């Protein structure tokens, strides 16, 4: 049995909150550069150049790459041979968020009651998804999620007879309706199968996959490529001002479904596709 101290989790989470908002992952930066080479719109090229420069400044100055530093969303894999000493795991994560968002001068965006709208003042509570796995490791992944892109996401319960064409049409429709609102170029996460909430979770998990890696299932990989091509033909372009670069990638995750159901979810991420992981 491996023991991990509560205060160590707090410290690690605090650091993750700041690093995820300061340092854009290399796969996203490479996607910016690749898109710039393919973009034909002069304004689109200029915007992509600004995004690359923005990421550079954020990294060098240790400041948020976007003013919306997001809802703190965590995916946590807990080894069955891990014991947390000194407190509860979720409490440690929330304390880490509280410290990280305060010490890192990150915007606090969370209201404690969805209707009364009073800010909690420290960006808590976090959204925490926990999975029990084999081993004695604790893996913590943060994926700060901005409100603008989250608002453009959606779920639809398709009839099984609508099949893959129904899935494609819903994804394209969702992105087209989103337009400039999620700050393109975007990353599109798609979840297919399971139940309504499982499909939505799959779509968000899909955003964690590196942008240069396609699905292991060749048919799903082909679907990702087709959707990306069709989305980039919509002409929305960088920041919605026209061009070929509406999306940097489409990542699809699937799960078994009921014989009567075909749930599909689309979770859109802005160009600040932020996530950081650590293993204790």
What does the pLDDT read at residue 97? Answer: 98
Q: With beta carbons less than 8 A apart as the criterion, state whether 165 and 230 touch.
A: no
Compute CA distances 229 → 31, 192, 195, 222, whole Å. 14, 19, 28, 11
Question: What stretches in the chain show pLDDT beneath 50?
Answer: none
The pLDDT value recorded for residue 105 is 95
| Cα 60 to Cα 16, 17, 33, 144, 273, distances in angstroms | 17, 17, 19, 20, 18
Query: Residue 280: what pLDDT?
Result: 97
**Residue 19 CB contacts under 8 Å (≥ 6 apart), including other chains:** 276
Q: What is the pLDDT of residues 49-60, one digit of tens each?
A: 999 999 999 999
Q: Would the pTM count as exceeding 0.75?
A: yes
- Report the alpha-carbon distance of residue 75 to residue 171 in Å, rounded: 24
Domain spans in the chain, listed from the N-terminal domain onward: 2-20+65-144, 148-273
How is residue 15 written in tokens?
A: 């650091």
| pLDDT value, residue 176 | 98
In percent, how much of the chain has pLDDT > 90?
A: 100
- In angstroms, the first-to-last Cα distance of the chain is 13
- The pLDDT value given to residue 41: 97
Q: What is the pLDDT of residues 88-137, one digit of tens each?
A: 999 999 999 999 999 999 999 999 999 999 999 999 999 999 999 999 99
Q: Which residues pair with 41 in a beta bridge?
A: none
Crossing angle for the helix pair 6-22 and 89-103, to the nearest 10 degrees: 40
Number of alpha carbons in the 13 Å side-chain half-sphere of residue 12: 21
Per-residue confidence (pLDDT) for residue 74, from 0 to 100: 98
Here the tokens at position 80 are 């069955």
């Amino acid at each position: 049995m491996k023991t991990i101290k509560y205060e160590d989790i707090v410290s690690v989470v605090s650091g993750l909150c700041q690093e995820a908002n300061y340092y854009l992952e290399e796969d996203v930066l490479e996607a910016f550069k690749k898109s710039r080479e393919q973009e034909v719109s002069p304004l689109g090229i200029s915007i992509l150049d600004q995004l690359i420069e923005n990421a550079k400044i954020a990294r060098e100055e240790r400041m948020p790459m976007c003013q919306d530093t997001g809802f703190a969303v965590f995916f946590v894999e807990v080894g069955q041979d891990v014991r947390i000493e000194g407190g509860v795991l979720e409490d440690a994560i929330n304390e880490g968020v509280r410290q990280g968002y305060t010490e890192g001068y990150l915007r606090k965006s969370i209201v404690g009651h969805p209707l009364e709208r009073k800010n909690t003042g420290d960006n808590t509570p976090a959204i925490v998804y926990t999975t029990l796995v084999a081993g004695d490791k604790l893996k913590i992944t943060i994926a700060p999620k901005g409100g603008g892109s989250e608002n453009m996401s959606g779920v639809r319960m398709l009839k099984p007879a609508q099949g893959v064409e129904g899935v494609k049409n819903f994804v394209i429709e969702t992105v087209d309706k989103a337009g400039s609102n999620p700050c393109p170029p975007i990353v599109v996460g798609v979840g297919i199968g399971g139940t309504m909430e499982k499909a939505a979770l799959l779509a968000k998990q899909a955003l964690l996959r590196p942008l240069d890696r396609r699905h292991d299932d060749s048919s799903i990989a082909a679907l990702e490529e087709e959707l990306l091509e069709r989305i980039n033909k919509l002409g929305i372009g960088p920041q919605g001002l026209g061009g070929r670069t509406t999306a940097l990638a489409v990542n699809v995750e699937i799960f078994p479904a009921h014989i009567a159901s075909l749930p599909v979810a689309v979770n859109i991420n802005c160009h600040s596709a932020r996530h950081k992981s650590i293993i204790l």
